[in-house]
Amino acid sequence: MSSSSAGAAAAGKPPGGGHGGHGDSDERHSHNPHLAHHFDDIETQNHASRLGMWLFLGTEVLLFAGLFLGYSVYRHLYHETFRFASHTLNLTLGTINTVVLISSSLTVALAHHAVTKGKNRLALGLLGFTILCALAFLVIKGFEYNHKFEEGALPGKWFHFEEMAGMPGANMFFTVYFLATGLHAFHVIVGMAILIWVAKRLARGDFSTDYNLPVELGGLYWHLVDLVWIFLFPLLYLI
C-alpha cells in the first residue's frame, strides 16, 4: 500500500532537517533525504509543514488581538485624548518604518522566489537586505522610544508627559503604545533571528529548487510581523 518502509535517512525529522546537499528529483520520493520516515511523500510533508506554520501564525494573530482589544476599548473611552496623543508621535519616523517593513516583505518574498528559480546568490542578497531592514526598524524604534523617555510619555506610573497632563486617560495611550510596539518589536527580533538562521543555511547550500521550504516558512513569519504593523501604524500614529 504505502511506502511505509521508506529507507529515508532522515528518520523522525520534520522537514527542515536536511543535511546539506540537494534533494533528489521528485520521482524518487523514497530516497528524498528530506522525507521523514512517518510521511509517505514529500508533498504531504510540505503541506503538513505549511499547515503547521499557518496554525502558528493564527496563534500570533490571536496573541496580538488582545492588545488591539485594549487599544480599541481605551480609544473608545478616551477618544479625544487618544487622538491628541497619536499626533504627538513622530509621523516621519513611523512612516519610514512602515515603508521599511513593507519593503522588507517584498525582499523576503523575492528571496524565496529566487531560490525556487535556483538563483541562490541573489536570494542570499535579498535575505540580507531583509535582515538589514529589520535592524533599521529596530534602530528607528529605538530613537522613538528614547524620545518618549525624554518627554515622559511613558506607561502607567512612569507617565509625566507635561504636554498631556490633565487629559483623561493620557497615560493609557502610552501604556498601550509601549505594550503593542514592544511586543511587535520582540517579534521583529525573533523574525530577524529566524531569517538569519535561514540565510546561514542558504549560504551553506542547504536549499535548492527542489527543497526550499524553510525559506518560504521563514518568510511567512516575517510577513506576519509586517501585517501586525500595517494595523498598528494607523491606529497609533495617524488617527
Partner 1 sequence: MSQSASSALAEVPYRAPVYQEINYLNADSGVMSWLKTLDHKRIGIMYLGSVLVAFLLGGIFAMIVRFELSTPEPTFIGANAYNRMFTLHGMVMIFLFMIPAIPGVFGNFVLPLMLGAKDVAFPRLNLLSLYVYWTGAAIVLFGVITGGADSGWTFYAPYSTTTPMTLFPVLLGVFILGFSSILTGLNFIVTIHTLRAPGITWMKMPLFVWALYATSIIQVLATPVIGLTTLLVGIEKVAGFGLFDPGRGGDPVLMQHMFWFYSHPAVYIMVLPAMGVISEAIATFARKNLFGYKMIAYSSLGIAFVGFFAWGHHMFVSGQSAFDGGAFAVVSMLVGVFTAIKVFNWVGTLYRGSIQVTTPFVYVCGFLFFVVFGGMTGIAVATVSLDVHWHDTYFVVAHFHFIMVGAVIMAFLAALHYWFPKMFGKTYHEGWGMVAASFIVLGFNATFIPQFLLGNAGMPRRYYMYPERFTALNVASTAGSTLLAFGFIIILIYLVYALVNGDVAGDNPWDSKGYEWMTSSPPIKENFEEIPNYEQEPHTYREPGEEVEHVVI
Partner 2 sequence: MAENKKHIEEHGDGHEGGHGAGRYILIWAALLVFTITTVVTGRMDLGSANLPLAMVIATIKATLVVLFFMHMWEAEGILKLVFSVSLVFVAVLLLGVFGDILTRSTAALPSAANGTAIYMGADGTGHPSSPEH
170 binds partner 2 (CB under 8 A): yes
How far apart are alpha carbons 212 and 223 in whole angstroms? 17
208 binds partner 2 (CB under 8 A): no
Closest by Cα among 225, 222, 220 to 50: 220
How far apart are alpha carbons 81 and 166 in whole angstroms? 10
13 binds partner 1 (CB under 8 A): yes
12 binds partner 1 (CB under 8 A): yes
Q: What are the helix and strand counts (H, E) for the chain?
A: 6, 0
Please return the burial class of 94, using the count of CB atoms within 10 Å of its CB with bins 0-12, 13-18 and 19+. buried
CB of 122 to partner 2, least distance (A): 10
Quickly list H helices, 79-212: 79-87, 91-116, 120-151, 170-203
Hunting for cell 519610514 — which residue is that? 96
Stretch that binds partner 2, among 5-13, 129-137, 197-205, 228-236 (CB under 8 A): 228-236
178 binds partner 1 (CB under 8 A): yes
Stretch that binds partner 2, among 135-143, 180-188, 192-200, 229-237 (CB under 8 A): 229-237
76 binds partner 2 (CB under 8 A): yes
Q: 49 or 107: whose CB is closer to partner 1?
A: 49
**Binding interface with partner 1 (CB under 8 A):** 1-2, 4, 12-14, 17, 36-39, 44-45, 47-48, 51-52, 55-56, 58-60, 62-63, 65-67, 69-70, 73-74, 77-78, 155-158, 168-169, 171-172, 175-176, 178-179
